[in-house]
Amino acid sequence: MADAHVKNPPPAIDGNALVSMCLSRVGIDRMFGVVGIPVTSLANRALALGVRFIAFHNEQSAGYAASAYGYLTGRPGVLLTVSGPGCVHGLAGLSNAAANAWPMILISGSSDQSLIGRGDFQELDQVAAVKPFSKFSAKATDITEIPKSVFSVVDWAVAGRPGGTYLDLPTDVLHQTVDESEAERLIAEALKSRDKALIEKPRIDNSKIKKAVELLRSAQRPLIVFGKGAAYAKSENELTKLVESTGIPFLPTPMGKGLLSDKHELAATAARSLAIGKCDVALVVGARLNWLLHFGEPPKWSKDVKFIIVDVCEEEIELRKPFSGILGDATEVVGMIHKEIKDDPFCLGKTHPWVEAVRNKGKDNVAKMEVQLSKVVVPFNFLTPMKIIRDAILGVGSPAPVVVSEGANTMDVGRSVLVQTEPRTRLDAGTWGTMGVGLGYCIAAAVASPDRLVVAVEGDSGFGFSAMEVETLVRYQLPVVVIVFNNGGVYGGDRRNPDEITGPYKDDPAPTSFVPGAAYHILIEAFGGKGYLAGTPDELKSALAESFSARKPAVINVTIDPYAGAESGRLQHKN
């Protein structure tokens, strides 16, 4: 019989609970993933501690969600997976985070340490497997190592250039226990020994600021280019002040769109070729001179252009060999440049020949595009539905919807037609050109910004990668409307020459083809969401009006002419 005077011992904390305590202690409040052996309890413990766990069907989508969540919030997105194959599926998300420079942590359960090398259930050397995509990896080999391991993967994910990190949690460690006071002691000790150098931002060299200001001041045709590094750094206020006080035209990269509105009179988006081809000084903030910016080289850029690159990553600056490089956080650097100019201000003004040239070219191009957009083409080409969608998104007002975009033609056309008016409201295939990110990004955006509608505009091929996650949308009742441009395949119809269609499998569908007329809208209805089929402007307008005001999970299946658009979108020379 129990002795009524003996108190029950405090509940033991197991590895699952300790990981969850550590994550919530450093402000991790969301996790994405797929549960199973050995991490189901970890998800449950985290939920009990107030960390929202969004359960997916596939780690690939959950990983894309975690990467985008890190970008949108500035706090690392966490992907939780099972061991072996779960970890391997998660590599898609981790690699995407690495390529885009977004902070993310992959946490995977792993085999019992005593069974390694003997063919344990889902056994894999996961630390080795993640290596190409992880800035830093930690394996907790004992419960006492959990706090330090958790805090270091969190700190490394956001340190310097953000990226992916990895935490390996063996099954036996997750089942080990410590008592509550020991858990608290371990956490306190690990918090104290966090590497401060990782969290500190680089000191900005003031002489570089002065040099940048002199260059901008003396330039004939200056341009300010900014990318998703500046969006991540939340530089919108500083960039707006700099642009508006100097009158220098600006050019955002695709995901930089919205830091300043696309409708701003100094936006050079519609005059991109002229702006990059003719500028003599380009201040590039949080954007790499990689394929997306034509490597900063002729023929797209002038051979004499002087680049001033602002980046948190020293290696990036060294790699590009700019005229001047400023190491530092985008918001701080742009703020310092603006302050330096304020002491001796200059402004190009509306009648400056360069400003006028960019504005006139932009107006011209917009007018030409509007002529194309005003044609009502049915069966739909890409432009007719894109215009209707653009107007519906603009009609939502503020807070503006987050637009998720992927697909070859759908993304290319969407980038020039859809209008971004607020920061971090565009997520697309990004630096890596990753297809299949759509549903994961939608879920991340809805979770990160619950006040915003999320609208995906994607091709049927992109949608297919993660279409099952429409069930996840419905399960969590997320305000996401997925618009599928359905042209029956990758790039649409069969574009092979007749002489290519030979051999024993010539009667098979083309590698680019899907089932024609696929009823993607019915897919979401299987789970209780709302589906629409739209083949005419009226059908599309009414589906958009109803689904945008309902703010419930919906799929709009838009029938597109399979021969509209081009194979490989705008990258035909690469295919």
Beta strands, E only, 399-547: 402-406, 426-427, 454-459, 480-486, 530-534
Report the C-alpha gap between 38 and 122 in whole angstroms: 10
Tokens linked to 136:
């830093």
CA distance 76 to 162: 9
Q: Contact between 161 and ligand ADP (CB under 6 A)?
A: yes
Q: Using CB under 6 A as the criterion, what x/- string covers residues 539-558 for binding ligand ADP? A: --------------------
Does 98 contact ligand ADP by CB under 6 A?
no
Q: Hey, which residues does 483 pair with through a beta bridge?
A: 457, 556
Q: Is 240 in the site for ligand ADP (CB under 6 A)?
A: no
Nearer to ligand ADP, 313 or 558 (CB): 313
Query: Scanning residues 292 to 351, which ones bind ligand ADP (CB under 6 A)?
Result: 292, 310-313, 316, 329-330
Distance from C-alpha of 239 to C-alpha of 123, rounded to nearest angstrom: 49
- Cα torsion at 345, 350, 355, 356 (round to 10°)? -160
Question: What CA–CA distances, in Å, run from 394 to 366, 391, 402, 449, 539?
Answer: 16, 5, 11, 18, 19
For ligand ADP, the binding residue among 65, 87, 275, 287 (CB under 6 A) is 287
Residues 424-453 that bind ligand ADP (CB under 6 A): 431
The answer to whether 103 contacts ligand ADP (rule: CB under 6 A) is no
Q: Judged by CB under 6 A, which stretch of 222-230, 357-365, 370-378, 451-459 contacts ligand ADP?
A: 222-230
Q: Do 101 and 229 form a contact (C-beta atoms < 8 A)?
A: yes
- The Cα–Cα gap between 448 and 469 comes to 17
Distance set, CA 257 to CA 3, 270, 382, 446, 557 (Å): 68, 12, 21, 19, 26
**Least Å distance between CB 163 and ligand ADP?**
9
Comparing every residue's Cβ against ligand ADP, the nearest one is 229
User: Which of 255, 480, 484, 558 is in the footprint of ligand ADP by CB under 6 A?
Assistant: 255
Residue 414 touching ligand ADP (CB under 6 A) = no
Give the nearest distance from C-beta 338 to ligand ADP in angstroms: 15
Residue 100 or residue 381: which is nearer to ligand ADP going by CB? 100
Shorter beta-carbon distance to ligand ADP: residue 246 or 431:
431
Site string for ligand ADP, 193-212 (x = CB under 6 A): --------------------
Q: Under the criterion CB under 6 A, does residue 228 sit at the interface with ligand ADP?
A: yes
Residue 304 CA to residue 299 CA, distance in Å, equals 11
Tell me the two tokens of residue 179. Answer: 């008592």
Q: Is 486 in the site for ligand ADP (CB under 6 A)?
A: no
Is there binding between residue 385 and ligand ADP (CB under 6 A)?
no
Our finding on whether 251 is near ligand ADP (CB under 6 A) is no
By the rule CB under 6 A, 75 interacts with ligand ADP: no
Stretch that binds ligand ADP, among 59-67, 283-291, 360-368, 434-442 (CB under 6 A): 283-291
Smallest gap, in angstroms, from Cβ of residue 429 to ligand ADP? 10
Q: Cα–Cα distance between 169 and 38 in angstroms, integer?
A: 9
Distance, CA of 415 to CA of 458 (rounded, Å): 12
163 binds ligand ADP (CB under 6 A): no
User: 243-267 as b/e, with b when 16 or more CB fall inside 10 Å?
Assistant: beebbbbbbbbbbbbbbbbeebebb
Instruction: Give me the amino acid identity at 35.
Output: V
Instruction: Count CA within 13 A, CB hemisphere, residue 99.
Output: 16
Nearer to ligand ADP, 101 or 274 (CB): 101
257 binds ligand ADP (CB under 6 A): no
- Which listed residue (38, 93, 256, 362) binds ligand ADP by CB under 6 A? 256
Q: Which of 84, 227, 325, 553 binds ligand ADP (CB under 6 A)?
A: 227
Beta bridge partners of 168: 108, 139
- CA pair distance 172, 113, nearest whole angstrom: 7
Would you count residue 232 as binding ligand ADP (CB under 6 A)? Answer: yes
- Tell me the sheet residues that pair with 307: 282
- Is residue 242 part of the contact set for ligand ADP (CB under 6 A)? no
Q: Tell me: does residue 282 bind ligand ADP (CB under 6 A).
A: no
Q: How far is the CB of 532 from ligand ADP (least distance, A)?
A: 33
Q: What residues line the site for ligand ADP (CB under 6 A)?
A: 100-101, 161-162, 227-229, 232-233, 253, 255-256, 286-288, 290, 292, 310-313, 316, 329-330, 431
